[in-house]
Structure 1
Amino acid sequence: MSDYSTYELGDFTLQHGATLRGAHLAYQTYGTINGDASNAIVYPTWYSGRHWDNEWLIGEGMALDPAKYFIVVPNMVGNGLSSSPSNTPPPYDRARFPAVTMYDNVRAQHQLMTERFGVTRLALVTGWSMGAGQTYQWAVSYPEMVARIAPFCGSSVTSEHNKVFLEGVKAALTADEAFRGGWYERPPTTGLRAAARVYAGWGFSQAFYWNRVYRQMGYSSLEDFLVGFWEGFFLDDRDANNLLTMLWTWQNADVGNTPGFDGDTVKALRSITAKAVVMPAEKDLYFPPEDEAWACEHIPDAELRVIPGIWGHFAGGGSNPDDTRFVDQALKELLAS
């Protein structure tokens, strides 16, 4: 997990005006870049995810096969490996870490791909959840560079319903007395555990819980799942300020805020030239299929493929083999097109 590389961004000025001095982007690569740098794929991380959390979709015989493609997984700003509240020195440390947009993340990744690897054309950009948001952003920010996109279980603009859900996560994290406005000396574990339980009602569908599918995952009861999976997830080296930084990025995600589009999301979607396969999950409570059907209506060359089943948002998390096969097959067909 500690085996990754770091790209120095230098003094990196963010979309909202702050400059992160000595900013850096952590990343991992899989496979080898070919002679004309035409086999590159960017596969960004998701909310609180790190590069190793993406590896379930990379492997021999899969669409993202390192024997064929050069796959770069950049860690999102704020995830604890790239520049984050937890690793940035004063004055932009901890609670003073500035607002970071999807546009900022993708601009940093573009700098990595062009300056570090000399890539001018990407075979594919793909990602789950916030990784899907970055996928859409790549296609809007750098249309001349992106040949194909496959966002799954994510969106081009955060809906108001999604923002309300995230307000619950934010409230849980910040209500802990130990949080101290972000200047905590010890992890606010009460807030982290509370946030985990807020998340638990959204990550999987109602049908997932009705059928007690968590038992197939090795959890003996609902409470065991809430503690063992969800609280364990949030307590696994996840910093509260980091979570809040990425939460702000998520709440404020909108490709319409890309410079030149003046907040017009539809205009931004219509500018996408990449061939797109968009994969929402059938029972995703964050990003329902009808939201992504709306996005596909405005992307010139887009196909909607709904991931069937009851795993909800986590259809894109690599936990269910059927969902993994669905996503992988769609990526194979897209890359062959």
Structure 2
Amino acid sequence: MADYEIFDLGDFALQRGATLRNAKLAYKTFGELNAKKDNLIVYPTWYSGQHADNEWLIGSGMALDPAKYCIVIPNMFGNGLSSSPSNTPEPYNASRFPLVTAYDNVRAQHRLVTEKFKVQKLPLVTGWSMGALQTFQWGAQYPEMVERIAPFCGSAKCSRHNFVFLEGVKAALTADAAWNNGWYEKKPEKGLRAMARVYAGWGFSQAFYRQKLDLETLGFSSLEDFLIAFWEGFFLPKDANNLLTMLWTWQNGDISDNELYKGDFKKALSSIRAKTYVMPSRTDLYFPPEDSEFEVANMPNAKFIPFESIWGHFAGGPGTSQQDVKFLDGKLKDLLAS
């Protein structure tokens, strides 16, 4: 039995020109929508993650408390549950799956919120990494609807340096002969393992490795054990075409790349009316705090609140650093109370 529901989008026209026929948006809810319909929180997924990977921030007594809020986790296109290369029928299957933007994802989520839940105001949208990109996108795309946003360890636009990192990830994955331009008969295992090793040098900070937190805190027996068990184990179960679809979405993330803002990034940022906590990790190698400071400087109602952490990108990650989870949960409580 699936632990999620499907919202049928019908024939969904995408920003880059293709149409996803019989498009599906998978989602899971925690808690109940109240009579006023004013307690719905949207909490999008991240690169390669599915709704179950978001659950570390939901619980009794936490900011995202199902006894108080109805929390919906919409799965990103390409993650294997919503419409993806791995589950879309011919002819748009596998490497023919169309290009999907953050704008497309949030437009689909907006339909879920307004058509399924009949909600017109959101008290909060929040998310980690690519979930943060979608959080920024919500604020810019539907500024009158979103009251608060808390993007953490992510950005409103993919930086040039971040783009280059992702080119390395893509090159490692697609160098496997089994990749076969996306028409693989068995998974490109060597490519997935190589991709994981590239990722391993970026997900955590230099200080994390220097202090051997992979051994001392996460409990791995050696650095090689960490690279295999944590990183290779993380990517091996995932579909390569799905990963590349979401990677393209990430590389082309830009909240101003639409008809509303026509590429004017500062205008898109300044249009976000929501009360905002932008929360980067001080040691994030993907999304450095300087990028967040620029975003906050161009937003009318935003605060810069960094994780003072050596856990790098995973300071905000799925329950990895308990100290950082407590910090994040406290800030989300502050934001919701404001």
TM-score (norm 1): 0.99
- Alignment-derived partner of residue 233 in structure 2: 232
Runs of 4+ in 1 over 2 A off after TM superposition: none
For 1:219, the aligned partner's letter is: F
- Alignment-derived partner of residue 78 in structure 1: 78
CA distance in 1, matches of 2:297, 2:142: 20
- Alignment-derived partner of residue 2 in structure 2: 2
Q: Aligned to 1:199, what secondary structure does the other structure show?
A: helix
RMSD of aligned residue pairs (Cα, Å): 0.7
Deviation (angstroms), 1:260: 1.9
Deviation (angstroms), 1:87: 0.2
- Alignment-derived partner of residue 315 in structure 2: 315
CA distance in 2, matches of 1:260, 1:75: 24
Deviation (angstroms), 1:322: 0.6
- Alignment-derived partner of residue 13 in structure 1: 13
Deviation (angstroms), 1:258: 2.6
CA distance in 2, matches of 1:246, 1:134: 12
Q: Aligned to 2:26, what secondary structure does the other structure show?
A: strand
- Alignment-derived partner of residue 151 in structure 1: 151
Q: Aligned to 1:88, what secondary structure does the other structure show?
A: coil
- Alignment-derived partner of residue 288 in structure 1: 288
- Alignment-derived partner of residue 23 in structure 2: 23
CA distance in 1, matches of 2:58, 2:308: 21
- Alignment-derived partner of residue 116 in structure 1: 116
For 2:229, the aligned partner's letter is: G
- Alignment-derived partner of residue 277 in structure 1: 277
1:312-337: CA deviation from partner (whole Å, max 9, x where unpaired): 00011121111001110110000000
Q: Aligned to 1:52, what secondary structure does the other structure show?
A: helix
Deviation (angstroms), 1:144: 1.0
Check the 8 A contact 1:125/1:146 in 2, yes or no.
yes
Per mean C-alpha deviation after superposition, the further-off stretch among 252-261 and 50-59 is 252-261
CA distance in 2, matches of 1:286, 1:2: 33
1:238-286: CA deviation from partner (whole Å, max 9, x where unpaired): 1000000000000000011032211111110000100000100010000
CA distance in 2, matches of 1:124, 1:28: 17
CA distance in 2, matches of 1:309, 1:124: 24
Check the 8 A contact 1:141/1:258 in 2, yes or no.
no
- Alignment-derived partner of residue 194 in structure 1: 194
CA distance in 2, matches of 1:44, 1:234: 20
- Alignment-derived partner of residue 324 in structure 1: 325
- Alignment-derived partner of residue 102 in structure 2: 102
Deviation (angstroms), 1:2: 3.0
- Alignment-derived partner of residue 67 in structure 1: 67
CA distance in 2, matches of 1:42, 1:133: 13
1:196-230: CA deviation from partner (whole Å, max 9, x where unpaired): 00000000000000111001212011000000000
CA distance in 1, matches of 2:60, 2:164: 40
What does 1:167-182 correspond to in 2, within 5 Å? 167-182=167-182
1:273-316: CA deviation from partner (whole Å, max 9, x where unpaired): 00000100010000011100000001100000000110000011
- Alignment-derived partner of residue 223 in structure 1: 224
CA distance in 1, matches of 2:337, 2:202: 34
For 1:183, the aligned partner's letter is: W
- Alignment-derived partner of residue 88 in structure 1: 88
Q: Which runs of 5+ in 1 are unaligned?
A: none
TM-score (norm 2): 0.99
For 1:47, the aligned partner's letter is: Y
CA distance in 1, matches of 2:329, 2:299: 22
- Alignment-derived partner of residue 185 in structure 1: 185
- Alignment-derived partner of residue 58 in structure 1: 58
CA distance in 2, matches of 1:171, 1:77: 22
1:169-208: CA deviation from partner (whole Å, max 9, x where unpaired): 1001111000000000110000000000000000000000
Deviation (angstroms), 1:109: 0.2
CA distance in 2, matches of 1:138, 1:259: 15
Q: Which runs of 5+ in 2 are unaligned?
A: none
Deviation (angstroms), 1:105: 0.2
How many residue pairs match? The answer is: 336
CA distance in 1, matches of 2:36, 2:90: 42
CA distance in 2, matches of 1:3, 1:62: 22
For 1:321, the aligned partner's letter is: Q
CA distance in 2, matches of 1:95, 1:51: 24
1:121-147: CA deviation from partner (whole Å, max 9, x where unpaired): 001000000000000000011011100
For 2:235, the aligned partner's letter is: F
Deviation (angstroms), 1:36: 1.3
For 1:91, the aligned partner's letter is: P
- Alignment-derived partner of residue 304 in structure 1: 304
CA distance in 1, matches of 2:277, 2:148: 8
